Amino acid sequence: MIRSGTVDIAFWMFSAGSVVAAWLVFRTDSMVRAAYWLLASFAGVGALMVLLNARFLGLVLVLMMAGEMTIMAVFMVMFMMNPAGLNPMTMVHQHRTAKIAGVFAFAGLALVGLVADFPDRPADARRDPTSDLGRELLGDSMLVFETAGVTLLATMIGAIAIASKRGRYGDAEQGSAPPALEEKPPEPAGMEH
């Protein structure tokens, strides 16, 4: 077993690392770096969860976030008019709103931290959290998770239907385009003149 002193040091290292990485998200001048600093922050949180014996959840967090942050980076780059996202750009805007929202969020969370009565029930170290999690997902919490799961699945299917080759505006390979606002004589789709 790893000594508890090591765990403590690791806990503080990962906690501090997560906070610093999260701060760097806003201090960097590049979209891709911002996305990956956020990933680093999440990976730190994942490591904390592993240290807290929620190994499965911690690893799954890293697994999911790796894909999601990459997708986020690609979409940011493609939506911004910044070739390849390598030209510098600021990651902070709407300063006043951001400051107010930041202060309120911090105050709220701090309040919860100070006031809330956190449960203090040491769990049996021999119990396997992963199998406990599985039993929970397919037991008492089944309705909640299945509802969320089916909703997400329906959303995904909807998104795929919209983005598919035979999308809203006809076959993508034929160069589909949204219909024009004015009435125009119908043109065969995809013909190039």
Residues in touch with another protein (CB under 8 A): 29-30, 32-33, 36, 39, 46, 55-56, 59-60, 62-64, 66-67, 69-71, 73-74, 77-90, 93, 128, 130, 162-163, 167-169, 172-173, 175-178, 192
The Cα 141–Cα 143 span in angstroms is: 6
Which is nearer to another protein, 102 or 190 (by Cβ)?
190
Give whichever of 107 and 159 is closer to another protein, judged by the CB atom.
159
- Distance in Å, CB of 33 to another protein, minimum: 7
Distance CA(22)–CA(38), nearest Å, equals 6
- Beta strand 166-167 with 170-171: parallel, antiparallel or unpaired? antiparallel
Q: Which residue lies nearer to another protein by CB, 23 or 104?
A: 23
Give the nearest distance from C-beta 113 to another protein in angstroms. 29
Q: Enumerate the β-bridge partners of residue 171.
A: 166
Q: Are 149 and 155 in contact (CB under 8 A)?
A: no
CB of 75 to another protein, least distance (A): 9
Cα separations (Å) of 175 from 120, 169, 170, 185? 61, 9, 8, 18
Please identify, using beta-carbon distances, which residue of 21 and 39 lies nearer to another protein: 39
104 vs 169, beta carbon nearer another protein: 169
Least Å distance, CB 141 to another protein, is 20
Q: Which residue, among 12, 18, 10, 9, has the nearest Cα to 45 in the 3D structure?
A: 18
Please state the separation of Cα 159 from the chain's center in Å: 18
Least separation in angstroms between residue 97's CB and another protein is 15
